[in-house]
C-alpha cells in the first residue's frame, strides 16, 4: 500500500515537472530573448534586397505635428521593444524603420530577432497559424509583455488584400508574371507613398497609448 502510494506520488512529481518545463518553453522569458537579439545597426547590416527602400523610409519618415503628448506618454512607460523580423520581408521593410524611428524618439531600447533563427519564440506569435512578420513585442523592465503589434496596420492589410483579389490562380500560366508585378507595385508603394508610413505610425501610437 505504501509502495503504491509512493509510486503514484513519484508519477505525480514527474508529470508536474514536465508541465513546468512545457510552461517555461511556451511562455518564454522575454528578458532573455531581448538579450539574445541584435542591435538596430546589426539588423541594418543584414539588409540586401530591401536595403535602399528601408533606408529611404528610415531617413525620410517625419513625425506628425502636435504629437508630443503621445510620444511623452510612451516614453514614460520605460518600454523596450523586441522585434521579430527578417530582411527579405516586404512588410518589415515598411514597418521596422518606422519602429526604429519611434524607438529613438521615445528612448526605447530595441532588440531584433531574425525570425528563422528564433522559431520557438515566433511560434508564440502566429497570425492565422502562420509565421507572419514583423512582430513587435513591447516589454517592461521585468520582461513582461505590455503590448504586441503586427504584422500589419489595418490599412496596409486592406491594400494588400485588394491587390491579391485580382491575382490569377496559382496554376494559371500568368500567375508568376502577375505575382512579380504585384511585388513590384507593393514595394514601390511602401517605399514612396508616405501615407502608408503614417498608417503604420498611427497604428503603433494607438496600440501603445490606449
Instruction: Confirm whether 105 is domain-assigned.
Output: yes
Separation CA 210–CA 35 (nearest Å): 27
User: Residue 205 maps to which CATH number?
Assistant: 3.40.30.10
The DSSP-derived string for 12-25 is HHHHHHHHHHHHHH
Q: Is residue 129 part of a domain?
A: yes
127 closest CA partner among 119, 116, 135: 135
Residue 68 lies in a domain: yes
Which domain range does residue 43 map to?
A: 29-209
pLDDT at 14: 43
Q: Is residue 7 situated within a structural domain? A: no
User: CA–CA separation, 117 vs 136, rounded Å?
Assistant: 16
Backbone angles phi and psi of 147, in degrees to 5: -160, 160
Is residue 11 a part of any domain in this protein? no
Model pTM score? 0.86
Cβ contact 103:81 at 8 Å: yes
Residue 58 neighbours by CB distance under 10 Å: 16
Per the structure, the count of domains in the chain is 1
Specify if 21 maps to a domain: no
Establish if 23 belongs to a structural domain.
Answer: no
Residue 12: inside a domain: no
Average pLDDT of adjacent 10-residue blocks, the chain of 210 residues? 49 44 53 97 95 98 96 98 97 98 98 97 97 98 96 97 94 96 97 98 97
Strands in 135-139's sheet, in edge-to-edge order, are: 110-114, 80-85, 135-139, 145-149
The pairing of strands 80-85 and 135-139 is antiparallel
Q: Is 83 exposed, middle or buried (0-12, 13-18, 19+ CB in 10 A)?
A: buried
Tell me the CA distances in angstroms from 159 to 80, 165, 185, one per residue in order: 30, 10, 11
pLDDT, residue 4, reads 52
Residue 120 is predicted with a pLDDT of 96
SS3 of residue 82 by DSSP? strand
pLDDT at 21: 41
Amino acid at each position: 500500500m505504501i509502495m503504491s502510494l509512493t509510486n503514484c506520488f513519484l508519477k505525480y512529481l514527474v508529470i508536474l515537472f514536465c508541465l513546468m518545463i512545457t510552461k517555461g518553453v511556451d511562455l518564454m522569458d522575454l528578458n532573455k530573448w531581448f538579450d539574445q537579439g541584435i542591435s538596430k545597426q546589426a539588423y541594418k547590416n543584414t539588409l540586401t534586397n530591401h536595403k535602399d527602400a528601408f533606408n529611404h523610409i528610415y531617413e525620410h519618415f517625419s513625425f506628425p505635428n502636435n504629437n508630443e503628448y503621445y510620444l511623452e506618454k510612451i516614453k514614460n512607460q520605460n518600454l523596450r521593444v523586441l522585434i521579430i523580423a527578417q530582411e527579405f520581408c516586404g512588410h518589415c521593410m515598411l514597418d521596422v524603420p518606422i519602429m526604429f524611428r519611434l524607438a529613438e524618439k521615445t528612448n526605447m531600447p530595441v532588440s531584433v530577432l531574425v525570425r528563422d533563427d528564433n522559431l520557438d519564440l515566433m511560434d508564440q506569435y502566429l497570425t492565422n497559424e502562420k509565421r507572419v512578420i514583423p512582430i513587435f513585442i513591447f516589454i517592461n523592465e521585468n520582461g513582461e509583455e505590455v503590448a504586441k503589434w503586427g504584422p500589419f496596420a489595418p490599412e496596409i492589410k486592406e491594400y494588400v488584400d485588394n491587390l491579391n483579389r485580382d491575382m490569377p490562380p496559382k496554376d494559371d500560366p500568368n500567375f508568376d508574371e502577375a505575382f512579380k508585378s504585384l511585388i513590384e507595385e507593393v514595394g514601390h508603394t511602401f517605399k514612396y507613398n508616405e501615407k502608408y508610413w503614417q498608417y503604420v505610425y498611427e497604428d503603433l501610437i494607438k496600440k501603445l497609448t490606449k
